[in-house]
Structures are given as C-alpha cells and as structure tokens.
Amino acid sequence: MRKTAAFLAVSALLAAGGTSRAAPAAPAAEKPRTLGVGVVLGAPIGGTAKLWLNENDAIDAGAGVVGDRAAFWGDLLVHDWRLVRQPAKGRLGVYGGLGPEFRSGDEPNFGLRAIAGLDYRPSGTPYELYVEAGPLFELDGGGGTDGVGGLGLRVYLDGSPSAAAR
C-alpha cells in the first residue's frame, strides 16, 4: 500500500510541476494536439497516453506487462525540436523525461524511469511515432536497475495535426 501511495504522490507532483520554459504559440487557425492514445512494444508492452501541456512539454502514462508482471508508469517529457535536422514533412524531435514506474507480482517494486527518445509527427495526420529507451532505477527492495523502452504509435483523439508538425 505504501508503494502505491508513493507512486501516486510522485505522479501527481510530476503532473502538477510542468516546466518553466516558454513555448511558441500555435497558430490561431490550427488547434494543437492535446491527448493521444496508442500502443508501445518493448519493455513494457502495453497501452499509452500522452497529454501535451504546451508545444514542448507533455505527460506520458501507460499500463502494460513486463514478462508476467503488470507495469504502470508516468513520465514528464520535455521535447526539443531544434536538435535534429527536420524532415521535408512533419516534425522530428528529441525528448527526455523522468517519472515513476510500479511493477506488480510476487515481489512488487517501485522505481524511477529516466527516458530519452525520438518523436516523429507526420504533417497533416493525427499520428505520432516514437522510439524511447532508458534505465529504471529500482527504489525498493535490493535496489538495482532494469531497462525500459520501446517503439510506439499514438493517435490523437481530436484528429488534427499538431501545430509543430507543419
């Protein structure tokens, strides 16, 4: 129970924190993406959702499986769209993030994820493709580390392209 309470507390702090970087405003005629849902294949394999706070910052959450254990995670992600050369259509960015992960099982554990990835948003579509990887630092039991990451696809529910994917 204490692990679940700690997971929820850290998730709430991350969700409320945001970042102080100023984000460029979206054009008035185009509504930016807000909430996307999809799948991730990797460790964990499961469902994922991403809520954009502004053009650079988002909250990612998911539920899935790692082996025979259920996994639940949430990350605060910060994107940079200037670090890599942009494709002719769409938007390619790098991101990093941090957040909690809880894994159930005979020996449930709680850890902190550190994620880095690439995010591609094709122009004129509601899709987002991404690949991410990083360590999971286990904060209970014997400690230790594990790997997390995968390849994912999200569809944005409003169906509109992002202001960043022009």
Per-residue model confidence as pLDDT tens digits over 121-159:
999 999 999 999 999 999 987 789 999 999 999 999 987
Alpha-carbon dihedral angle through residues 27, 164, 22, 99, given to the nearest 10 degrees: 140
Q: What pTM was computed for the model?
A: 0.77
The answer to whether 91 and 165 have CB atoms below 8 angstroms apart is: yes
The answer to whether 154 and 127 have CB atoms below 8 angstroms apart is: yes
pLDDT at residue 17 above 90? no
d(CA 41, CA 163) in angstroms, rounded, equals 27
d(CA 159, CA 77) in angstroms, rounded, equals 22
- Break the chain down into helix, strand, coil percent, rounded to 5: 10, 55, 35
CA torsion sign for 76, 81, 83, 89 is positive
d(CA 47, CA 73) in angstroms, rounded, equals 11
pLDDT at residue 10 above 70? no
The CA-based angle 107-110-116, given to 5 degrees, is 130
Whole-number pLDDT of residue 160: 56
Could you tell me which residues are beta bridge partners of residue 3?
none
**What secondary structure letter does DSSP report for 105?**
S
Condensed to tens digits (0 to 9), the pLDDT of residues 99-120 reads: 999 999 888 899 999 999 999 9
Condensed to tens digits (0 to 9), the pLDDT of residues 48-104 reads: 999 999 999 999 999 999 999 999 999 999 999 999 999 999 999 999 999 999 999
Whole-number pLDDT of residue 158: 81
pLDDT at residue 14 above 90? no
Q: Domain residue spans in the chain?
A: 2-17+38-156
Condensed to tens digits (0 to 9), the pLDDT of residues 88-102 reads: 999 999 999 999 999
Task: Specify the CATH architecture of the domain 2-17+38-156.
Answer: Beta Barrel (2.40)
pLDDT at residue 1 above 80? no
pLDDT at residue 9 above 80? no
